[in-house]
């Protein structure tokens, strides 16, 4: 499927975007190993999280879906999972594969994890190395990519691990394995990353401490099922924020968006660029902070993006590249090398798409320099990456001519209903 986008103006509106992807994955995994029932509302009904739900079902957990955004999980406790009859296919989802590897390396049975072409090319040594140090036995392809063959029945030992890269997925894989290890598992991060695993573990009665960036979990903690309300995903809201900032005169309120401080780098960066973006009605959903986001059309100014904000905005760089292209002057991104191992090489994919639309982009191994300009019409490739597709779609709303965005099927992995949502507020995005 392709998108055809015609230049269009966003209108004043109040919108909701789907539930947070990271929190939805974690609700399924932690709800499954908790004791008792977990009722999830605001769940993201996207392909990535559905792959996790299927995997947990295959491991013997009863998971019901009374509605698209609701899940009822009958937790089986820390030791209640059962061997799956076949390999677990985790589709496009790096989060599902890395976190499930942490959980499954501690079980009494063997498991096999597979994924689609994109996931099958993504690096897994980053989890295999620390989990192996804990005693896990995991085999990958020779270049450290999936499928993963995980041997069960081993005894895990707690480790003290300094993460070589800022990655919430690696941190979470180690913490999940740590729930089963003898002793206290400690992880130190080079930069703060999203802490949804820690918050949800605490919410379900687990003990997790964080002292100066050293996160620790004790083996053997019992979790208890509870009601989980998933906030709207700030990463999905980012596309609405971007479209609003770029449009001529729109004022849009996005309801109940997760504003966990480990995720809000995008807000800080866009505000530094002159974006009119404010948080209203801040409150807590369980352990997670949420707010309504008010965004108004703004004239953006290029800047040097603070590399300390990279891990707090890690999924928002495709959208930030578009903001930079629409801004006055030059924007410099640095320290973003992790973007090269996401669902696509996002630096290369965005540079390619924006160049095809007339924007000057200089790439380096860990960054990019974007010159503000005008998007022309054209034909661009999403490289099967949901966030690249949605970022280019929002860019296209302010292009001089029609833009065709190729291969957008994966938009459903994180933002089912994206097209309907943005057309509902005035963007002219059609299926071509």
Catalytic residues: 315
Which tokens in the block code for residue 297?
Answer: 């059309």
Q: Which of 8, 27, 38, 169 binds ligand S3P (CB under 6 A)?
A: 169
Contact 282, 290 (CB under 8 A): yes
Is residue 167 part of the contact set for ligand S3P (CB under 6 A)? yes
Q: Bridge partners of 331?
A: 370
Shortest distance, position 192 Cβ to ligand S3P, whole Å: 12
Q: Which of 17, 168, 181, 217 binds ligand S3P (CB under 6 A)?
A: 168
Q: Which helix (H) or strand (E) holds 299?
A: none
Q: Which of 314, 350, 403, 421 binds ligand S3P (CB under 6 A)?
A: 314
Shortest distance, position 262 Cβ to ligand S3P, whole Å: 10
Angstrom distance (rounded) from CA 80 to CA 61: 9
Number of amino acids touching ligand S3P (CB under 6 A): 11
Q: Bridge partners of 18?
A: none
Is residue 315 part of the contact set for ligand S3P (CB under 6 A)? yes
**β strands within 206-364, DSSP E:** 208-211, 214-218, 227-229, 251-258, 276-285, 288-296, 330-334, 361-364
Is residue 22 part of the contact set for ligand S3P (CB under 6 A)? yes
Shortest distance, position 338 Cβ to ligand S3P, whole Å: 6
Contact 324, 335 (CB under 8 A): no
Handedness of CA 43, 44, 46, 52 (dihedral sign): negative
Sketch the per residue contact string, 333 through 352, with ligand S3P: x for CB under 6 A, - otherwise.
Answer: -----x--------------
Query: Which residue intervals of 43-83 are DSSP H helices?
Result: 47-58
Q: Which of 172, 256, 264, 297 binds ligand S3P (CB under 6 A)?
A: 172
Is residue 95 part of the contact set for ligand S3P (CB under 6 A)? yes
Which tokens in the block code for residue 320?
Answer: 């930030």
Is residue 429 part of the contact set for ligand S3P (CB under 6 A)? no
* Residue (of 121, 130, 206) closest to 165 by Cα position: 130
Q: Which lies closer to ligand S3P via its Cβ, residue 386 or residue 419? A: 386
Q: Which lies closer to ligand S3P via its Cβ, residue 149 or residue 262? A: 262
Backbone angles phi, psi at 146, to 5 degrees: -65, 165
Shortest distance, position 182 Cβ to ligand S3P, whole Å: 26
Task: Give me the residues that bind ligand S3P (CB under 6 A), please.
Answer: 22, 95, 167-169, 172, 193-194, 314-315, 338
């Amino acid at each position: 499927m392709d998108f055809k986008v015609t230049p269009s103006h966003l209108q004043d509106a109040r919108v909701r975007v789907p539930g947070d992807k990271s929190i939805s994955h974690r609700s399924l995994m932690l709800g499954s190993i908790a004791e008792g029932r977990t009722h999830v509302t605001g769940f993201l009904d996207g392909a990535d999280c559905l792959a996790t739900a299927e995997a947990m079902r295959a491991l013997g957990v009863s998971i019901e879906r009374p509605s698209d955004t609701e899940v009822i999980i009958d937790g089986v406790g820390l030791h209640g999972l059962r061997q799956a009859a076949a390999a677990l296919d985790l589709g496009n989802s790096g989060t599902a594969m890395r976190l499930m590897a942490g959980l499954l390396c501690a079980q009494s049975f063997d498991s096999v994890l597979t994924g689609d072409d994109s996931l099958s090319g993504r690096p897994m040594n980053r989890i295999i190395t620390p989990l192996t140090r804990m005693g896990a036995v995991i085999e990958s392809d020779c270049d450290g990519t999936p499928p993963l063959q995980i041997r069960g029945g081993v005894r895990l030992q707690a480790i003290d691990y300094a993460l070589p890269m800022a990655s919430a997925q690696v941190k979470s894989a180690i913490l999940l394995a740590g729930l089963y290890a003898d002793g206290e598992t400690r992880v130190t991060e080079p930069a703060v990353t999203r802490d949804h695993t820690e918050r949800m573990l605490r919410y379900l009665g687990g003990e997790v401490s964080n002292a100066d960036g050293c996160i620790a979990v004790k083996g053997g903690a019992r979790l208890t099922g509870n009601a989980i309300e998933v906030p709207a995903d700030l990463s999905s809201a980012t596309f609405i924020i971007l479209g609003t900032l770029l449009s001529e005169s729109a004022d849009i309120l996005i309801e109940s968006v997760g504003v966990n401080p480990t995720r809000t780098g995008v807000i800080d960066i866009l505000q530094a660029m002159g974006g009119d973006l404010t948080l209203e009605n801040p409150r807590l959903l369980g352990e997670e902070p949420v707010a309504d986001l008010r965004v108004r059309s703004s004239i953006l100014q290029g800047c040097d993006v603070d590399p300390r904000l990279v891990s707090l905005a890690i999924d928002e760089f495709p959208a930030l590249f578009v903001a930079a292209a629409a801004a006055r002057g030059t924007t410099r991104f640095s320290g973003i090398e992790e973007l090269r191992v996401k669902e696509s090489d996002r630096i290369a994919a965005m540079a390619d798409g924006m160049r095809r639309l007339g924007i000057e982009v200089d790439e380096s191994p860990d960054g990019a320099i974007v010159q503000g300009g005008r998007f022309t019409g054209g034909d661009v490739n999403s490289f099967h990456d949901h966030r690249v597709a949605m970022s280019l779609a929002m860019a296209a709303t302010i292009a001089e001519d029609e833009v065709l965005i190729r291969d957008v099927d994966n938009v459903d992995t994180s933002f089912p209903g994206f097209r309907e949502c943005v057309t509902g507020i005035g963007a002219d995005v059609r299926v071509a």
